[in-house]
């Protein structure tokens, strides 16, 4: 156990809770998707995109700001600011449980005031990982979650997504055994490819981890980019929330970027 944990190490718990473990097989939505056709297509694409991403090396960069929460709930002074870039790579072979470990190597970092570090510890714990928490935000429509979600098509009045489809999604009544997201998703009107996800809330966080239950609010907007003509990768995310997690208390904001994908493991 770490005796002198920094606020950043606790943000690590929020984002990834140590190193992520990745299933070596994916879940297919075909033949068992009880949702609108475009949502089923979106679920299949999120599944194959996550499976492909888990077999790539890539870079992640995050800009994190932590503000004091005032008594009236507003943001106070900026208390922490950090920017970190890591190189993410999957292990070359699964462990004894049949899962792949994600290896993170820090390649750029700052102190808690945003000042660049002259010497970077490549093994430092950070708030960046291809972890299960980030996947809650980036891949909320995986096939195994579809049966626990309700969907409603909404009128699309956003000129940016003219001609595309907009759906609201959220947990079904009684869906309490799985951590789920609620929000809106813009999808391609023909292929169901996910264009943008707007996360408005996370639900049942205690089933994921008891510490994360103290995240009072998490919101995010994730934009996806096409890779290799069929995968949709979460290349830009902005958001924030309110945290009551020990040593990470306050109002936080983040900007997240991901890219430079290179496939290093074959798809099974």
Does the pLDDT of residue 208 top 90, yes or no?
no
- pLDDT single digits (tens) 121-172: 898 766 544 466 788 899 999 999 999 999 999 999 999 999 999 999 999 9
Does the pLDDT of residue 267 top 90, yes or no?
no
Which pLDDT score, from 0 to 100, does residue 131 have? Answer: 60
Strand-pairing partners, residue 170, are 150
Average pLDDT, the chain: 85
Does the pLDDT of residue 7 top 60, yes or no?
no
> What proportion of the chain, given as a percentage, has pLDDT over 90?
65
- Tell me the C-alpha to C-alpha distance, in Å, between residue 17 and each of 9, 209, 218: 9, 9, 17
- Tell me the C-alpha to C-alpha distance, in Å, between residue 216 and each of 241, 245, 250: 7, 9, 10
Which pLDDT score, from 0 to 100, does residue 1 have? Answer: 41
> Lowest-pLDDT range, 13-22, 93-102, 215-224?
13-22
Which pLDDT score, from 0 to 100, does residue 127 have? Answer: 57
HSE of 129, CA atoms in CB hemisphere, 13 A: 26
Strand-pairing partners, residue 217, are 242
Q: Give the confidence band of 10 by pLDDT, cuts at 50, 70, 90.
A: very low
Q: Give the confidence band of 215 by pLDDT, cuts at 50, 70, 90.
A: confident
Rounded-to-integer distance, Cα 193 and Cα 189, Å: 8
Which pLDDT score, from 0 to 100, does residue 91 have? Answer: 85
Which pLDDT score, from 0 to 100, does residue 4 have? Answer: 42
- pLDDT single digits (tens) 67-83: 999 999 999 999 999 99
Q: Give the confidence band of 183 by pLDDT, cuts at 50, 70, 90.
A: very high
> What proportion of the chain, given as a percentage, has pLDDT over 70?
85
Residue from 227, 41, 29, 51 nearest 135 by CA: 51
- pLDDT single digits (tens) 225-240: 999 999 999 999 999 9
Which pLDDT score, from 0 to 100, does residue 85 have? Answer: 94
- pLDDT single digits (tens) 16-50: 433 333 444 444 444 589 999 999 999 999 999 99
Q: Specify the higher pLDDT residue, 112 or 211.
A: 112
- Tell me the C-alpha to C-alpha distance, in Å, between residue 133 and each of 18, 97, 136, 220: 11, 20, 5, 13
In the chain, where the domains are located: 9-16+29-263
Residues 3-28 have a mean pLDDT of 43
HSE of 130, CA atoms in CB hemisphere, 13 A: 32
Q: Give the confidence band of 268 by pLDDT, cuts at 50, 70, 90.
A: confident
């Amino acid at each position: 156990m770490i005796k002198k944990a920094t606020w950043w190490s606790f943000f690590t718990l929020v984002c990834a809770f140590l190193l992520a473990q990745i299933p070596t097989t994916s879940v297919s939505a075909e033949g068992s998707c009880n949702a609108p056709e475009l949502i089923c297509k979106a679920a299949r694409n999120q599944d194959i995109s996550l499976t492909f991403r888990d077999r790539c090396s890539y870079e992640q960069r995050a800009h994190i700001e932590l503000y004091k929460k005032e008594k009236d709930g507003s943001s106070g002074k900026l208390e922490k600011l950090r920017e970190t870039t890591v190189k993410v790579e999957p292990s070359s072979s699964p462990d004894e449980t049949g899962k792949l470990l994600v290896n993170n190597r820090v390649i750029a970092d700052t102190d808690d005031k945003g000042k660049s570090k002259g010497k970077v510890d490549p093994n430092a714990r950070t708030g960046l990982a291809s972890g299960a928490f980030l996947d809650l935000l980036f891949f909320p429509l995986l096939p195994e979650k579809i049966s626990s979600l309700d969907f409603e098509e909404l009128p699309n009045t956003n000129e940016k997504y003219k001609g595309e489809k907009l759906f609201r999604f959220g947990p079904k009544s009684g869906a309490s055994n799985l951590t789920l997201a609620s929000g809106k998703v813009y999808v391609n009107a023909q292929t169901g490819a996910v264009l943008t996800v707007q996360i408005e809330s996370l639900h049942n966080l205690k089933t994921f981890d008891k510490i994360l239950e103290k995240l009072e609010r998490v919101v995010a907007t994730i934009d996806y980019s096409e890779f290799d003509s069929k995968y949709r990768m979460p290349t830009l995310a902005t958001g924030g929330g309110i945290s009551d997690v020990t040593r990470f208390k306050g109002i936080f904001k983040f900007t997240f970027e991901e890219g430079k994908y290179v496939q290093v493991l074959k798809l099974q």
